[in-house]
């Protein structure tokens, strides 16, 4: 049986791969680890090597369907993607920094459990969410099965 380790990467079509690369490097601390297709494709990795974002610049297609239109900045069937801030991080400061780098603020969004989140659009128009859980959330989530079994928490 296959054991999945998580989501490997997200690939975005962008208008300017250098601009988009700088935004994700400066805004999220990502680092380039590969540049392909004569600089028209950049692969970025997050601190800790857990997440990968690839960006490619082309008016047409991609790896699977080179003849399809690029649809830069369109969400398609994907509503948004998200970035997790460490507990105690300054969400509003992160928003301000990303806006300085070219993002557009959309709105704050309450998901409950003391989490603070906000939606923004990157320089190409992709919608993304910043999420900051309160301190102790990791322990709470680890205890959820026990709390549910004891009837102290809803399913």
Q: What's residue 88's pLDDT?
A: 78
Rounded to the nearest angstrom, the gap between the alpha carbon of residue 33 and the centroid of all alpha carbons in its chain is 18
**1-59: which CATH architecture?**
Roll (3.10)
CATH: 3.10.180.10, 3.40.50.300, 1.10.10.10, 1.10.287.610. Which one for 79-155?
3.10.180.10
Q: What is the pTM of this model?
A: 0.73
Q: Give Rg (Cα) of the chain.
A: 18
Residues 6+ apart with CB under 8 A from 154: 148
Domain ranges of the chain: 1-59, 79-155
H helices within the chain, ranges in order? 17-28, 91-100, 137-149
Q: What's residue 86's pLDDT?
A: 81
List, for residues 82-136, the tens digit of each pLDDT value.
888 887 789 999 999 999 999 999 999 877 667 788 999 999 998 888 988 776 6
- Mean pLDDT is highest, among 47-51, 86-90, 128-132, 139-143, for 128-132
């Amino acid at each position: 049986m296959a054991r999945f380790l998580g989501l490997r990467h997200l690939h975005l079509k962008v208008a300017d791969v250098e601009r988009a690369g700088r935004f994700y490097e400066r805004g999220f601390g990502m680092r380039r680890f590969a540049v392909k297709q004569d600089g028209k494709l950049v692969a970025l990795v997050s601190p800790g090597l857990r997440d990968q974002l690839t960006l490619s610049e082309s008016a047409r297609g991609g790896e699977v369907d080179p003849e399809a239109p690029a649809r830069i900045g369109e969400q398609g069937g994907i509503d948004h993607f998200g970035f997790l801030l460490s507990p105690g991080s300054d969400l509003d400061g992160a928003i301000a920094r990303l806006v300085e780098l070219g993002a557009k603020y959309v709105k704050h969004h309450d998901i409950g459990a003391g989490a603070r989140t906000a939606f923004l659009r990157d320089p190409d128009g992709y919608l993304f969410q910043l999420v900051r859980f309160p301190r102790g959330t990791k322990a709470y989530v680890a205890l959820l099965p026990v709390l549910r079994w004891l009837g102290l928490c809803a399913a």
